């Protein structure tokens, strides 16, 4: 696999406007590490997912949907239990409101036994997130073990802190981040609130210096519509989107960036070249609805960046 990811995927139900006013919901699926994987797969990466799926009425929907995206399911473990579900209210100017039902879900029970050392060692990149760390203690331990396994095998590790204070405390999120950051090659935080909370008000340049000192090779601070700040090989660049889109839904925009960026890294591009693909992928994604449904395809991204490797 070019890229594998470890985490959860939930059933997604989204509506137009406020929950109070909604009469219908559109069904899909999503989860930060899975969103990243699908974004990369649509650009041409070979991709695999490590997770647990509960054997409920949504199990076939999830697995068939992932398979249709070309995701390798050999490390998806189908177990007794249920799958998490989340509802999204799509408000004006692309703003969103979320309600989650996930405690005790199958994916939250991820454990070290779900990992195959051979599978991890055969990948180019492995990606996970702070949400994976936050959904349970066993999932957090599994994420750290996966990164240690990957590092020992020479596999690139990628981490997005994706702070969610509905899932964890700020103190625990900081501790989890400090535990996994020394085993991380690619660090993908978001500015400003997430980065400011996790790093106690540190500036983007300060975060890049801090992470670099811990051995992280590529740091990309995502700044929404303002683009991103990339630190790599002793150089820092601020990069902005170069084309306009009408923002419809920002759900999963950071995950879309991650997928585009990791696709570029998996193809041997520099962090700055990869960030350009990430910016294009994220910008095209926010023009449509849903975390997965609006992720662009390879030909869409080629139209705005030129040829892809």
- Is residue 303 within 8 A of residue 242, CB to CB? The reply is no
Catalytic residue among 32, 72, 114, 255: 255
In the block, residue with structure tokens 């070979």:
46
Residue 59: CB atoms within 10 Å: 18
**Is-catalytic flag, 249?**
no
Give the C-alpha separation, 109 to 36, whole Å. Answer: 21
**Which DSSP letter does residue 107 get?**
G
Residue 68 neighbours by CB under 8 Å, 6+ apart? none
Round to whole Å and give the CA distance between 37 and 4: 7
Tokens 């399911």 label which residue?
73
CA angle 213, 198, 140 (to 5 degrees): 90
What is the bridge-based pairing of β-strands 186-187 and 218-222?
Answer: parallel
Which residues are the active-site residues?
255
């Amino acid at each position: 696999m070019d890229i594998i990811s470890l985490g959860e995927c939930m059933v997604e139900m989204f509506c137009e406007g406020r929950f109070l006013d909604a009469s219908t919901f559109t069904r899909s699926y999503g989860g930060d590490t899975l969103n990243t994987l699908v974004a990369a797969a649509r650009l041409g990466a070979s991709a695999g997912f490590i997770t647990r799926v509960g054997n409920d009425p949504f199990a076939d929907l999830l697995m068939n949907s992932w398979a249709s995206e070309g995701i390798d399911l050999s490390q998806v473990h189908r177990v007794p239990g249920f799958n998490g579900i989340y509802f999204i209210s799509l408000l004006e100017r692309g703003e969103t409101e979320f309600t989650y039902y996930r405690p005790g879900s199958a994916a939250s029970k991820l454990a070290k036994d779900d990992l195959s050392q051979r599978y991890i060692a055969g990948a180019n990149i492995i990606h996970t997130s702070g949400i994976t760390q936050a959904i349970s203690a066993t999932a957090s331990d599994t994420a750290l073990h996966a990164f240690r396994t990957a590092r020992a095998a020479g596999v690139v590790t990628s981490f997005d802190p994706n702070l969610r204070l509905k899932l964890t405390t700020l103190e625990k999120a900081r501790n989890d981040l400090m535990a996994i950051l020394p085993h991380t090659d690619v660090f993908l935080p978001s500015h400003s609130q997430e980065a400011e909370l996790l790093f106690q008000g540190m500036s983007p340049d300060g975060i890049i210096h801090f992470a670099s000192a811990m051995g992280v090779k590529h740091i990309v601070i995502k700044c929404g519509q303002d683009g991103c700040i990339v630190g790599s090989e002793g150089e820092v660049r601020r990069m902005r989107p170069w084309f306009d889109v009408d923002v419809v839904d920002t759900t999963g925009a950071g995950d879309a960036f991650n997928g585009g960026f990791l696709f570029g890294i998996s193809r041997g591009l520099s962090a700055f070249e990869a960030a350009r693909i990430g910016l294009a992928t994220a910008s095209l994604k926010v023009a449509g609805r849903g975390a997965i449904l609006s992720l662009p395809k390879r030909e869409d991204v080629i139209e705005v960046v030129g040829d892809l490797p």
